[in-house]
């Protein structure tokens, strides 16, 4: 369980998120929603230890700063162009998630291959990641996050740039991983349709925490209008299927 009490994060003197108090239950899929600049990435970076904050965070009853010294939190940062010239095979990317363990070189590679199998990407183990599609790269990075063997996965807008087919498959992958490994997954997203179908809980943030709770309750048109300042509602997605090698 993650408990945030009056958490505020600043860039210099500007408050980006202010006075966030919320409890995030174990083993659930939690989605953070909000407009660009609303503080989603900032809050996630504070949670994984990349930004200082005011207030208190506890994980499993342990002070956050102590917890992250002794445990890893799987983190998938916002997608960018970091792999446009990164000519190493996928399996070596996944091995990066094992560096805190005292694995032998052979064991580290075997473990990395196991995590590639979990996400259905083992046939790409020796393919250079800079030669992969964006969706394939995200799945490799998911395998790297899983390789940390953390109980918590934090995914910062992992679906950016994916088409609906790739997004649907990514959500299915998250669902299966959460259920099979009893993980707590925290993800930021703008996609109301997919979120309404897959998320257990929603946290709506625009500098401050607006509504939060069960997805079906939070994702009313009134709450979404409050969050984005628009008169919009939920449009459900139909499941789309494609060859996963192209995702």
Residue 80: DSSP 8-state: -
Does residue 79 lie in a domain region?
A: no
Residues 220, 156 share a domain: yes
Which pLDDT does position 80 carry in this prediction? Answer: 55
Examine the fold and report which residue of 149, 180, 195 is the final residue of a domain before the chain moves on. 149
Residue 156: DSSP 8-state: E
Examine the fold and report which residue of 93, 118, 149 is the final residue of a domain before the chain moves on. 149
Q: What is the pTM of this model?
A: 0.83
Which pLDDT does position 83 carry in this prediction? Answer: 60
Which pLDDT does position 57 carry in this prediction? Answer: 96
Q: Domain count of the chain?
A: 2
Does residue 78 lie in a domain region?
A: no
Examine the fold and report which residue of 97, 118, 149 is the final residue of a domain before the chain moves on. 149
Three-state DSSP class for residue 47: helix
From 117, 179, 104, 185, select the one nearest 147 (Cα to Cα).
117
Q: Taking the chain (247 residues) in consecutive chunks of 10 residues, what is each chunk's mean pLDDT? A: 94 89 92 87 93 95 92 81 73 90 89 91 92 84 89 88 79 84 88 78 85 75 64 48 48
Residues 220, 117 share a domain: no
Which pLDDT does position 216 carry in this prediction? Answer: 72
- The upper half-sphere exposure of residue 143, i.e. CA atoms within 13 Å in the direction of its Cβ, equals 29
Three-state DSSP class for residue 15: strand
Residues 156, 145 share a domain: no
Does residue 194 lie in a domain region?
A: yes
Which pLDDT does position 244 carry in this prediction? Answer: 46
Residues 45, 20 share a domain: yes
Evaluate whether 218 touches 212 at the Cβ level (below 8 Å): yes
CATH assignment at residue 167 = 3.40.50.300
Residue 128: DSSP 8-state: B
CB atoms inside a 10 Å sphere around CB 85: 7
Which pLDDT does position 100 carry in this prediction? Answer: 83
Phi (first) and psi of residue 10, to 5 degrees: -120, 150
Which pLDDT does position 101 carry in this prediction? Answer: 86
Q: Please give the helix or strand (H or E) that residue 75 lies within, else none.
A: strand 74-76
Give me the domain span that covers residue 65. Answer: 2-73+152-246
Evaluate whether 233 touches 223 at the Cβ level (below 8 Å): no
Residues 239, 161 share a domain: yes
């Amino acid at each position: 369980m993650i408990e945030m009490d009056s958490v505020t994060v600043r860039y210099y003197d500007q408050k980006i998120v202010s006075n966030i108090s919320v409890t995030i239950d174990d083993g659930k899929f939690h989605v953070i929603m909000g407009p660009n600049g609303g503080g989603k990435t900032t809050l996630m970076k504070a949670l994984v230890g990349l930004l200082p904050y005011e207030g208190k965070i506890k994980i499993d009853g342990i002070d956050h700063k102590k917890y992250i010294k002794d445990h890893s939190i799987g983190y998938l940062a916002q997608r960018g162009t970091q792999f446009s010239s990164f000519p190493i095979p996928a399996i070596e990317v996944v091995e990066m998630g094992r560096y805190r363990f005292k694995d032998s070189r052979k064991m580290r590679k075997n473990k990395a291959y196991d995590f590639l199998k979990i996400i259905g990407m083992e046939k790409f183990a020796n393919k250079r990641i800079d030669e992969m599609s964006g969706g394939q790269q995200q799945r490799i990075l998911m395998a790297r996050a899983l390789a940390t063997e953390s109980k918590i996965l934090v995914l910062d807008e992992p679906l950016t740039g994916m088409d609906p087919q790739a997004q649907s498959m990514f959500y299915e992958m998250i669902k299966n991983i959460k259920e099979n490994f009893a993980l707590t997954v925290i993800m930021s997203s703008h996609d109301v349709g997919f979120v309404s179908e897959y998320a257990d809980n929603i946290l709506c943030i625009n500098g401050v925490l607006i509504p939060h709770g069960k997805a079906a309750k939070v994702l009313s048109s009134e709450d979404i209008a409050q969050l984005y300042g628009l008169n919009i509602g939920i449009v459900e997605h139909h499941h789309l299927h494609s060859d996963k090698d192209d995702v």
